[in-house]
């Protein structure tokens, strides 16, 4: 089994990753992004990504379309800039010192580069507002993102309904 991350549903722009690579991919995005996020909109994007936790959702079931992320149309360009900064942080290994392993750059960096290309390619018209609304409606008031966006004390990564993605990995 594997996971596919694509620009939008049925897009030719995509990343095919093994389950292990997917977990590391999400971990390094979360580590970098949590350290860089300042606004609630930025933190919400990261929580959405970090919820793609195979230890809780099942292996091979966490692929997604970037167009389904909780983008805010009024702040879309700033959010894209933020996500590209997150990618830059991954390449600088931001937060990796908290891991008990070293991610394989030869495997992860090409995936991160393709993710960056897809973020650059995403247009405001591509945003899947139905998917965003469905996710937001499924969220409960008790979830961490509605309670100040707490972070894991050990990994300094945003918590999700499943806890810390890095601890779970």
The confidence score (pLDDT) of residue 61 equals 46
> Which is it for the CA torsion 98, 100, 104, 110, positive or negative?
negative
For the cut 60, the answer to whether the pLDDT of residue 53 exceeds it is: no
Please write the tens of the pLDDT for every residue from 64-75: 889 999 999 999
Average pLDDT over residues 119-128: 94
pTM, full prediction: 0.90
The confidence score (pLDDT) of residue 59 equals 55
CA angle 123, 128, 132 (to 5 degrees): 125
Average pLDDT over residues 16-45: 93
Q: Where are the domains of the chain?
A: 2-168
Sort 134 into a burial class: Cβ within 10 Å, 0-12 / 13-18 / 19+. exposed
For the cut 60, the answer to whether the pLDDT of residue 81 exceeds it is: yes
The confidence score (pLDDT) of residue 62 equals 53
SS (H, E, C) 128-141: CHHHHHHHHHHCCC
Please write the tens of the pLDDT for every residue from 103-122: 999 999 999 999 999 999 99
The confidence score (pLDDT) of residue 75 equals 94
CA angle 62, 68, 74 (to 5 degrees): 145
């Amino acid at each position: 089994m594997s996971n596919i991350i694509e620009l939008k549903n049925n897009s030719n722009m995509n990343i095919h990753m093994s389950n292990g690579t997917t977990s590391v991919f999400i971990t390094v995005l979360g580590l970098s992004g949590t350290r860089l996020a300042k606004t609630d909109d930025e933190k919400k994007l990261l929580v959405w990504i970090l919820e793609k936790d195979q230890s809780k959702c099942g292996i091979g079931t966490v692929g997604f379309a970037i167009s389904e992320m909780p983008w805010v149309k009024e702040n879309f360009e700033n959010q894209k800039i933020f996500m590209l900064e997150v990618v830059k942080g991954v390449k600088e290994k931001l937060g990796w010192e908290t891991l008990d392993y070293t991610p394989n750059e030869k495997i992860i960096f090409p995936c991160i580069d393709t993710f960056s290309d897809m973020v650059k390619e995403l247009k405001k018209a591509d945003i899947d507002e139905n998917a965003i609304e469905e996710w937001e409606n499924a969220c409960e008031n008790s979830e961490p993102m509605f309670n100040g966006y707490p972070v894991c004390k050990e990994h300094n990564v945003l918590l999700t309904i499943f806890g810390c993605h890095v601890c779970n990995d």
